[in-house]
Structure 1
Amino acid sequence: MNKNGTLSESRSSKLKLPSINNLTYYNQIPRTSDLLKSSQFSIDAAGSLLISKFFISPATMRFDDLVEESLFELNKIITNKMKVPSKEAFLNKSIQELLEEDGSLRTKTDNEFKHFITSHGHTGVMTKVASSINNSTIDQLSRAILTEEGIFLFLACRAIIGYEILDCEGISANMFESLDLVKSYVNVQLVDKIIKKESLEVSKKEVKILKDKIENTRISYFPGVPENTIVELIDDLKSGGKLYQLVMNFLNSGKVTLDRATNKESLAKKMVDYLLKLGYNEDFNHEEEESTTQEENQLVPDEFEAIEGVGSVIKKELIEVGIMSFSHLASFDETSLKKRLKKVRANINYGQILEQAKFIAKGQFRELLAYQDKLNKR
């Protein structure tokens, strides 16, 4: 070693020490954008756990991607745009209706629901509510919904404002009762998402019928199931659904005599189309009936001969006094109908005619067939 502290090369050794710059102990790992994103996500997640007083531990079960997407979008809308509704709106309107209401959305990005909780002194009780839920054994779907803080606070404000509940147990119970509101919203969103995803040809009228049908229907949110359920509903809507099987059962019941060459499947489809035109709607909620004035202005009369006891003569008499549809006929009682008709026939049971008209007007064809069976047995 030299006096200045550096090593001098040994003359007796032929070995040379390698340069420090050339030493390699491991292969360098490139820092990708994925690693950066994961790191940032971990930091953000950890930060949110520390900051949020209303954190609900996430569900361990995976749900359908479109369901999770709908919950995420709803949470974002509530957090960033939705105004706190009035007591009456909370109690009487669905989430969909609240979002469609004029003035229900704002342009600011602050969370009004969180502001309401903190500014009205409910932070303490809501912290207890969150702790209580975390310590309870709730189902995985409820946990997945309540994990979204915006939805959690929306349901809490609904309990506090709408029902004026202020204690921890009462708020928790009311929030769980209100989860169906969130599920109804998700169901409606699933209709649009699945139609778009599968590029299905569905008219606006059919979409409305589907949404009305599925809004309050319990469906499974496991992966792939919502899509199968809604596609099946669409197929049922377009084909008449259970009505086809009902017609086939009727054709095979022996109540009708068919030629051997008759194609029952083809005949059943034609009968389904006809019944749907009459307004049959066993599986789906139909649109509201037209007003009496509109019925009176109908140009083409309904096939009144479908009613036991109505032939060409009675049909003509009904048409002559402006009764053109089953729903219009069903709006009368026996006394008012007799007053409306120009001629009342003693051999006609108008009560039975009206009863059958009501079944048809409501789309209750099973009940109609059962009622007509009783009449024929007499």
Structure 2
Amino acid sequence: MLSDALHERDTNVLPAAPSAPSTPLRDTAWHGQLQLLASLPHSLLTLAPAIAASVRSGMRADFASIGLCDSATLTPTGFWTERVSEALLYWLGRHADELLALTPLTLQRDSDGQAVRDTFDAPGWSTHPVYQGAFGPLGARWGTGVPLLDRQDRCLGFIYLYRAEAEGRFSDAEQRRLRDARDRLRGLASAHAAPGTRDTPTVPTRSALLRIDAQGRIRARSADAYELLFLGQHQQLGSLTWAAADLTALPAPVAERARQLLDEPAAPACDELTLRDDGGGMRYRMERLIDAGADAAELVLTLCHLEPIDLAVALQLTRWPLTPRERQLAVASARTDSQREMASALGCSLGTLKGYMRSLYAKLGVASREAMIERLLAGAASAAPTSR
């Protein structure tokens, strides 16, 4: 049945990276994870969901969002949020200018995020139209944020944290903690990926399902659909098209193929399309469903995220008691199988690198690079001591 299919997962898809724990990570593990993410050669667009989750993992917050901007003009170029609703998206479509005018990005940057916290702490905020339209429906009574800065203090965007009424306002100490975490991310270079990242190997990590009716409207989504649609559209981040309720949420080649399957009786009953980009890629499988009692076909579309393998490995590493150097080795090993390239990138001799790798294999109980990556990606840390 379709309702059952919407809850099934591809058994060949690796499990998702663990969600942030209910209690904050210890500072050492948290800071190490942030620095590791910032060292990856991928664009900020690709890293946005991972950064949001990782920053939240060390703070007492219910969810996070990231707004990206042009560093010279602060013009918004993209947006990612861990919690979203169709009502919020419609509200943003009509009132985004009001939201930006309330706490201008220039003020947010120049106050190092204090202006964001002041907005949420202001008397009467819970009755303000912007709160009631954008934040109240998501349970975001309290909020704070900081600008994301590179090593030259250029503003790449902003990260925001939110929590419920009962949790209380964000304190001065928490604001300092958030700024400290932000400083661990200064290795982020820009919104653009380093040359050659399109060739980074990928692994299937998450999947999601959409049910699309004959008019091209999305009638149902599974849990990870919004995030995967965002990742699939991240080269068009000037808008919120990824969150649309119809085929415009899909990249144009996929939307066109889906439309053909719905409209043309002679079209194949199923089709598959893979799109690669600097963020890895996405595989789209479309299958037409025909109900004997219906006048028109429907479509089930499966999105499978092909994540850069170094990012997929990095997202698993907080579960393992590894040193910062060992984490660097694990990520570098995932990116390339050439030990000469690894040694050059890490600034050590080939002999030294081989010694490091033997020690890492022994610690993880594996005999080879391939076995190490497989174990890390499988999240097989249940018997390992935790680093939190």
TM-score band (shorter)?
Answer: under 0.3
| Greater fraction helix | 1
Answer 1 or 2: higher relative contact order, Cα 8 Å, separation at least 6.
2
TM-score for both structures, normalised by structure 1: 0.26
TM-score for both structures, normalised by structure 2: 0.25
| Greater fraction strand | 2
